[in-house]
Amino acid sequence: MTFEIPFGPQHPALEEPINFMFEIDEERVVNVKLRLGYVHRGIEKIAESRNYQQLVYLSERICGICSFAHTLCYSQSVEELLGLEVPERAKFIRTILAEMERIQNHYLWLGLTAKEMGFETLFMYAWRDREIIIRMLDMISGKRVNYGVNTIGGVRRDITESMIGRIEESLKHLEVRAEYYTKVCTKDPLILRRTVGVGVLRPREARALCAVGPTARASGIAHDIRADDPYAAYGEIPFKVVTYRGCDVASRMYVRIDEIKESIKIIRYALKNMPDGPIRVRVPILMKVPKGEAVSRVEAPRGENLHFLKSNGSDKPERWKIRAPTLANLSSLCRMLIGINLADIPVVIAGIDPCIACAERVVLIDSKRDKWKIWNGKDLWRYANEWYRKKYGF
Amino acid sequence: MRRSEIRRELRIRARDIIVQRDRRFIVNIEKKSLKRVIRRLLKMKNYTHLSTITALEVGSKIELIYHIAFTDALISIKVQISKDEPILPSIVDLIPGASLYEREIHDLFGVKFDGHPDLSPLLLPDNWPEGVYPLRKWWSTDRTLSKLGGKR
């Protein structure tokens, strides 16, 4: 039985369609197989025929949500090859925007996860608050997504005095909201029932499967690129690496909410201590980059983002390798899914913050009856919420 | 992390270790010592995870770079294999998280990993022709269109 329900165009998180093949025994997931590549755009191949300036724009479009992390990572690797020192002010502006993007992403995630649980009010609340930070990003960059602020040698937009006032104001509001979400997510019976002890990833497994970002930090691994391998202005800003030991979806939620609070503090500190001066070093548009290779790492909202760039001395790169955080977390996701109830699948998948809208189709094999069912994301979502409603009456 | 520490822990020659900059090291090794080196890396202090595996073409060879992250450094282990016989031992038994990275390279570069449990296509479509590896230099995006049909 196949349904064709458009799960699509308007959805803001549509970016990574992925196929999971679940083998189930009654209602337990026994095995998971995954298949990627439905939107493989061949960016690494295209990059070999573009020059370095064009690639700034291409890197902006790798991901719609963490576009700033990708341009930052790419620009840093080119700057390293050129031996370019970015002005101090530019480093602070980069830090501020990266943290604003993190807040934006975590609110997006909170909303989507709430929606997976059938908690539509929280979804609306979280996205309303996300709108505030998006307006701030719009004010600085002129765009709501794909900011176009990063460039090789610095940033293209400055943060002025009048902007600082407005950002401070919205941060104050967001901080109050973050406190509220902590309260909701630690007390609400529906959220607790759906997340505590669900999708467990033990620290040993997280380490072996190379989990990154909030997924790893929710399993008690204090691993954060901002602290381990400081870039931009993170070396000068004090902040705390948030970890939780619950290893479940609830911990992943608490890590992200606490990271929002931590990001607000980082932005405040950076705005106060931002030095004056130029915001970029001009580089020629058609430039040749000296031979060499560079690895750049950035803590994107979803985890470690790695760009490897090799130059052959011409104006086009020899090889540009991108590893986005979702790929690193997929192995861990497969581990989390094994042994869980069918009804918990949506929440667990949402837990690592992939682009869940993209679970375009799910194939279920009932290992006892040897029957195939093809479900799409919406059917699974409906099934999960029905199951919990019947059992606990939510 | 210091160069001498890497040399002592991995038991390799000093000239195989290149210090790129602060917190970045490159270690050149032979294909046959790959697993031995990875095993030693795993026991080192501050090891966190395998960041990724990069593959690229270097003349008539394929170079694989294992980016291994520590809390205070990033070590890139470089191995070169010939294009005619692109076989390398898999490290999935040592680092299970390497599975998807190896499958990706198997798809896009045609490197076979000895001992990998499942090298079925991960990224390429089902009707993708055999023996065609899209990230190799001879392949171009125009060829993709002619092989699979469709318009720009």
Domain extent listing, chain A: 41-359
How far is residue A76's CA from residue A298's CA, in Å, rounded to a whole number? 9
The rounded distance, in Å, linking the Cα atoms of B19 and B24 is 6
Phi-psi group of A187: left, alpha or beta (phi > 0 → left; psi -120 to 50 → alpha; rest → beta): alpha
Dihedral angle of Cα B115, B119, B122, B128, to the nearest 10 degrees: 150
Interface residue B39 vs chain A (CB under 8 A): no
Q: Residue A374's pLDDT band (boundaries 50, 70, 90)?
A: low
C-beta atoms of A210 and B141 within 8 A: no
* CA A234 – CA B73 distance, rounded (Å): 16
Residues constituting chain B: 152
> With a CB-CB cutoff of 8 Å, which residues 50-79 of chain B face chain A?
50-52, 54, 56-57, 65, 67, 69-72, 74, 76
Is A210 in contact with B95 (Cβ distance < 8 A)? yes
When mean pLDDT is compared over A10-19, A329-338, A362-371, B60-69, the highest value belongs to B60-69
In this structure, what are the phi and psi dihedrals at residue A318, rounded to the nearest 5 degrees?
-75, -45
- Going by pLDDT thresholds of 50, 70 and 90, the confidence category of residue A340 is confident
Closest partner residue to B54 among A40, A212, A321, by Cβ?
Answer: A321
Total Cβ atoms within 10 A of residue A245: 10
Q: Which two tokens stand for residue A89?
A: 């002010």
> What is the average per-residue pLDDT within A15-20?
63
Rounded distance between C-alpha atoms, residue B97 and residue B74, angstroms? 17
Asked if residue A314 has pLDDT above 80, the reply is yes
**pLDDT per residue over A224-260, tens digit each?**
999 999 999 999 999 999 999 999 999 999 999 999 9
Q: What is the DSSP letter of B78?
A: E
Work out the percent of chain A whose per-residue pLDDT is above 90. Answer: 60
Helix (H) or strand (E) holding A303: strand A303-311
In this predicted structure, what is the pLDDT of residue B127? 78
Give the pLDDT confidence score for residue A14 in this predicted structure. Answer: 38
Q: ∠ CA(A68), CA(A69), CA(A73), 5° rounding?
A: 115
User: Where is A264: in which H helix or E strand?
Assistant: helix A249-272
By three-state DSSP, how is residue B77 classified?
strand
Asked if the model's pLDDT at residue A356 lies above 60, the reply is no
Predicted confidence band of residue A66 (pLDDT cuts 50, 70, 90)? confident
List chain A residues with CB under 8 Å of B137.
48
What is the distance in angstroms between the CA of the first residue and the CA of the last residue of chain B? 49
Q: Which residue of A has its CA nearest to B133?
A: A45
d(CA A52, CA A260): 33
Interface confidence, given as ipTM, is 0.92
CA distance A280 to A365: 56
Bridging pattern class, strands B87-89 and B112-114: parallel
Residue A13: pLDDT over 60: no
Q: Nearest C-alpha of chain B: how many angstroms from A211? A: 8
In this prediction, residues A372-392 reach a mean pLDDT of 74
Select from A45, A319, A331 the Cβ nearest to the Cβ of B100: A331
| Rounded Cα gap, residues A161 and A277, in angstroms | 14
User: In the 8-state DSSP scheme, what is residue A179?
Assistant: H
CATH T-level assignment (fold) for domain A41-359: Cytochrome-c3 Hydrogenase; chain B (1.10.645)
Contact A210 B21 (CB under 8 A): no
Residues A71 and A145: beta-carbon distance below 8 Å? no
User: Token pair 């701030």 is at which residue?
Assistant: A136
CA atoms of A139 and A158, how far apart (whole Å)? 11
d(CA A391, CA A27): 14
Taking the C-alpha atoms of residue A380 and residue A208, their distance in angstroms, rounded to an integer, is 30
The pLDDT assigned to A24 comes to: 75
Average pLDDT for A48-65:
89
B23/A229 touch (CB, cutoff 8 Å), yes or no: yes
A364 forms beta bridges with A22, A373
CB of A17 closer than 8 Å to CB of A390: no
Cβ–Cβ below 8 Å for A295 and B23: no
Tokens standing for A82? 């050129």
A223–B125 C-beta distance less than 8 A: no
Asked if A357 and A7 touch (Cβ cutoff 8 Å), the reply is yes
Q: Do residues B122 and B100 lie in contact, with contact meaning Cβ atoms separated by under 8 Å?
A: yes
Q: To 10 degrees, the CA torsion angle through A285, A286, A289, A294?
A: 50
Of B48, B49, B124, the CB nearest to A37: B124
B132 interfaces chain A, CB cutoff of 8 Å: no
Say if residues A225 and A217 touch (Cβ distance below 8 Å).
no
Could you tell me which chain B residue has the CA closest to the CA of A304? B51
Distances (CA, A) of A151 to A89, A106, A148, B21: 14, 25, 8, 22
CB < 8 Å to B121, chain A: 35, 37
Q: 């997280």: which residue's tokens? A: A206
Confidence band (pLDDT; 50, 70, 90) for A357?
A: very low
Contacts of A308 in chain B (CB under 8 A): 52, 54, 65, 67
Of B51, B95, B137, the CB nearest to A323: B51
Residue carrying the six token digits 């502006």: A93
What is the mean predicted confidence (pLDDT) over A127-156? 93
Cβ-Cβ contacts under 8 Å for A252 (sequence gap 6 or more): A214, A215, A218, A244, A351, A352
> What is the sign, positive or negative, of the torsion defined by CA atoms of A170, A175, A176, A177?
positive
CA angle, residues A218, A222, A224, in degrees to nearest 5: 100
Answer for the pair A302, A214: CB distance below 8 angstroms, yes or no: yes
What span, in angstroms and rounded, lies between the C-alpha atoms of B88 and A79? 33
* Interface residue of B20, B22, B42, B52 to substitute, partner A, most A CBs within 10 Å: B52
> Across the A/B interface, how many CB contacts are shorter than 8 Å?
93
Asked if A201 and A332 touch (Cβ cutoff 8 Å), the reply is yes
Mutate to test the interface with A, among B18, B19, B54, B145 (most CBs of A within 10 A): B54
